[in-house]
Structure 1
Amino acid sequence: MKITQIRSATLIIETRDFHILVDPMLARQSTLPKLRYFKSNQRNPLVELPETFHDLKQQVDYALITHCQKRHFDHLDRAGVHWLRKHSITTFCTTHDAGYLQKKGIPAQALKDKVSTFFTGTIEQIPARHTTGWLTPFMEHGVGYFIQLENEPSLYLMGDTILTDVIREFVSRQQPDYIVAPTGKAQFDVGVPLLLNEEEIIELASLSTGKIIANHMNALDHCRITRRDLTQLLVEHSLTDRFIIPEDGETIALDLRQSPASTRAPGGSSSGETARQSVVSNRNQGVLP
């Protein structure tokens, strides 16, 4: 398995059989609204898509959405909608989001059960909580996904969330090989953080025995923790060996022994047709929603 960090929460998961694009925010730099209205002069995204994405996008077979409603354009923007629709990309999502995506012309496939059969393994939905306090009803909370595939490391995509008791229990019990964590500490001009803060990042490391891949940084104006900030935090807590902090466009190879090898150039070729045949077979057997 390989993961390529694209930008913010957008990434590509590559397995032996397919490439999955997660939460596509594909807009050009500075073409989306600010998220800090009083303390920012920059429009989003703050950076362009890396060239790596343009190399890899032709290999994408499927998409996976953690949440996308209530104007959460950093997980699915107009450019992302256009690209998924234009290329007829089967997009896995929650039942809550399926109708919304289908109305936009995206071939959405709802994951109807908490744990669903997913290619050669399973995918489990883990509730996410995007903030606390008075902002809660205004946010789209979505889910994270725990993916277990045959002969691949287990992977937990947290989605946009703070650290909740549900997530604490899940991580302690399941011990994913790799966790993709939203470490950017997004925060509006008012209210509390919308993603993991410094204390929660450190606590997550104490709960997990696996590697933590940090993302959701350096691309949106309301994210308060940068890659440099996170590196300094991890140095202070002697945790640098527990985290991987990929740059945009960087590909990380994951293995069952939790020993990642990083490279700037994506490797391997797509076997999307194999994956498509698997999905067709699974649908016929009634094991995929």
Structure 2
Amino acid sequence: METSTTQSVQIQHIRNATVKITYADNIFLVDPMLAKKGAYPGFEGTYRSHLRNPMIELPMPAENVIEAVDAVIVSHTHLDHWDDAAQELLPKGIPLFAQDEDDAQIIRAQGFTDVRILGANVVFKGVHLTKTGGLHGTDSMYSVSDLAKILGKVMGIVFQAPGSKTVYVAGDTVWNSEVDETLAKFNPDVIILNTGDARLTGFSDSIIMSKDDTLHAHRAAPNATIIAVHMDAINHTALSREELREYVQQKGIQDRVVIPDDGEILRL
């Protein structure tokens, strides 16, 4: 696909993994969690499960988040990516992309009538959307059958359009071969990483990316702009934005890694 970069991309970080991406004249809302602070109990069996979620308020009214959105993308149906508030507020007829038929059936049962399955090179109003792989934890976690069911399947998304920068939303994944394959295949200009270092009780490894993965991403794609999100909002995240900002300064990659505040708009 021709990807000469003439049209800017606007990315607004909302909170946690929720992001609005204005891309080729379309506005996509990815992984909407729109509840007020403290609406839900902490995730059982995770780090700091006594804290209620989300731990911080939205930076704007939820109605403003969904304003002018053309399509919604739900990478997976965990509460911190697709919550009750989003289900109540979003128009039931809005185009919505899910990772597979299982998630699509869940979302249709919630009343949504235009639920589509994301696959390889799905086109929406001139934007090419491609589902990418990932793993929401380590192989050892997935070897425990009950835990594997809880962690479930996840996806990332690549956005492409002629004349626009290629954007890769990695989603809730640890770094694995599927991430390497996506970088090699698409050579993204912008990479959005969920770097909150989310922890389960009894395991030393994270179920998403961590600060070291920001350095890994820069080394794997040195020309890309890396946007680090999924911090400070959910009980089980062990890495804060403040800590990550210190880390990228120490590693000398602060010019390539952006750690946006809630509500911040980036034009790339």
TM-score (structure 2 length as normaliser): 0.87
Counterpart of 1:51 in 2: which secondary structure? Answer: coil
> Where do residues 1-289 of structure 1 align in structure 2 (5 Å cutoff)?
1-35=9-43, 39-51=48-60, 54-68=63-77, 72-84=78-90, 86=91, 88-96=93-101, 97-111=103-117, 113-136=119-142, 137-138=148-149, 139-191=151-203, 192-208=205-221, 209-254=223-268
Deviation at residue 141 of structure 1 after TM alignment: 2.5
Question: Which structure shows the bigger proportion of residues in helix conformation?
Answer: 1
1:52 touches 1:249 (CA, 8 Å); kept in 2? no
Aligned partners of 2:118 and 2:237: how far apart in 1?
32
2:24 touches 2:161 (CA, 8 Å); kept in 1? no
* Gap regions ≥5 residues in structure 1: 255-289
Q: CA RMSD in A?
A: 1.9
* Gap regions ≥5 residues in structure 2: 1-8, 143-147
Q: 1:40-98: CA deviations, max 9, x gaps?
A: 54201000111175434221221111111xxx1001011111122x4532111223321
Task: Return closer, same or farther for 1:58/1:118 CA change in 2, 3 Å cut-off.
Answer: closer
Task: Return closer, same or farther for 1:42/1:182 CA change in 2, 3 Å cut-off.
Answer: same
Q: How many residues of Structure 1 are paired with residues of Structure 2 in the alignment? A: 250
Counterpart of 2:232 in 1: which secondary structure? Answer: coil
Question: More deviation in 73-82 or 197-206?
Answer: 197-206
Task: Return closer, same or farther for 1:133/1:170 CA change in 2, 3 Å cut-off.
Answer: closer
Aligned partners of 1:160 and 1:229: how far apart in 2?
20
Return the letter of the residue paired with 1:215: V
TM-score (structure 1 length as normaliser): 0.81
Aligned partners of 2:168 and 2:28: how far apart in 1?
14
Deviation at residue 140 of structure 1 after TM alignment: 1.9
Deviation at residue 245 of structure 1 after TM alignment: 0.8
Aligned partners of 2:239 and 2:14: how far apart in 1?
18
1:184 touches 1:195 (CA, 8 Å); kept in 2? yes
Counterpart of 1:20 in 2: which secondary structure? Answer: strand
Identical pairs, percent? 28
Return the letter of the residue paired with 1:11: V
Counterpart of 1:145 in 2: which secondary structure? Answer: strand
